[in-house]
Amino acid sequence: MDIGSRSSELERSPAAVHPHPARGGSALDRCFRELWLYVATPSVRYASRMIETSGFKSLQAGWPLTGAPALAVSLVAAGCGASSGQPDPAAESAPRHSGNPESCCPVVELRQYTLHPGQRDVLIELFERELVETQEATGMTIIGTFRDLGNPDRFVWLRGFRDMPSRAAALQSFYGGPVWKGHSAAANATMIDSDNVLLLRPAGPAAGFHLAGRERAPRGTTTERQEIVAAAMYSFAAPAGDFADYFERELAPVLTEAGASIEATLVTESSRNTFPALPVREGEHVFVWLSRFADRAALDRHVAALAASARWRELAKALEGRVSAPPQTLLLSQTPRSLL
């Protein structure tokens, strides 16, 4: 990702990696089958038959699912591989995050990196040691950094900005500065593709990430976290229009009652990419919502509650007529220093 080099990740033409295939595992496959009693909609039962005959495939790789049941399907997966742990008691006290106490951030990148096999922990160690505070020093906010539970070779992170002009300035400052120049070769060596990027904005005035009071673990923290974050993405043929209001009015209450803590709802930011050296996915209209679960047990309870909800099944059926493609859901475990 060394700007100015034609061989760098930033200068590569986007690889044909959308959707990204996951490297399935037999343990996950077995776990899906064992947990499948949690979900019972017709769409989910079709997915179950596919698993039995075709082996594990991630939602990103093209589940034949439509509507909101895709979230319940993917949530089951989290019970098969969530990490756990407590903050490192030996670590020094972390500074309080100094972001906007109301909502962070008006512009958000959802970045999914496909890595060479076995390189994810290498990148995470480098990222959390060298590339968090140094990016934030330019005016960005590193909202969250994650391991994809469905793909051992995918790293996912969220980065926020005040607006599109400041995004351009911050990215130019960082990628043109000495820190990235010193570490770009090592970072790029872990990556196959870094162009799967959604440029987003909050779906409403209070729909962004609320980070006030959250503390980032200090450098050197290695203990894994218990929380699981789900990022569900709905695609539309045209701008979603009133879907954000529909989500808040109809879907969010059912999800919250079932135990989900909704962290943010986001829609496509349609402005021109102000830093073209970093490509983003263009010509798409998406609605993204992110929820957080305290641990594996909380996730399991949520899945069971949705499966038992007649209202959720009704809403899932209605959603099928709104979206233009099967929903995608990422099940994510936080890295040790993730703020979200």
Q: Is residue 101 part of a domain?
A: yes
pLDDT tens per residue across span 266-276 = 999 999 999 99
Between the CA of residue 279 and those of 12, 42, 162, 194, 269, what are the distances in Å?
A: 9, 38, 19, 9, 14
What percent of the chain is predicted at pLDDT more than 90? 60
Q: Is residue 6 part of a domain?
A: no
What CATH number has the domain bearing residue 98?
3.30.70.100
Q: Is residue 85 part of a domain?
A: yes
pLDDT at res. 173: 97
pLDDT at res. 171: 97
Q: Is residue 17 part of a domain?
A: no
* Residue appearing with tokens 């390189």: 119
pLDDT at res. 303: 86
Q: How many domains is the chain partitioned into structurally?
A: 1
Q: Is residue 1 part of a domain?
A: no
pLDDT at res. 241: 72
Quick check: 42 pLDDT over 60?
A: no
Quick check: 121 pLDDT over 90?
A: yes
pLDDT tens per residue across span 13-37 = 333 333 333 334 444 433 433 333 2
Q: Which of 94-108, 228-242, 289-303 has the lowest mean pLDDT?
A: 94-108
Name the pLDDT band for 166 (thresholds 50, 70, 90). Answer: very high
Its pTM surpasses 0.85: no
pLDDT at res. 97: 37
Q: Is residue 21 part of a domain?
A: no
More confident residue, 79 or 311: 311
Name the pLDDT band for 260 (thresholds 50, 70, 90). Answer: very high
Q: How far apart are CA 21 and CA 88, in angstroms?
A: 34
pLDDT at res. 102: 53
Q: Is residue 251 part of a domain?
A: yes
Q: In which domain, by residue range, is 158 found?
A: 26-334
pLDDT tens per residue across span 61-116 = 333 333 334 444 444 433 443 333 333 333 333 333 333 345 689 999 999 999 99
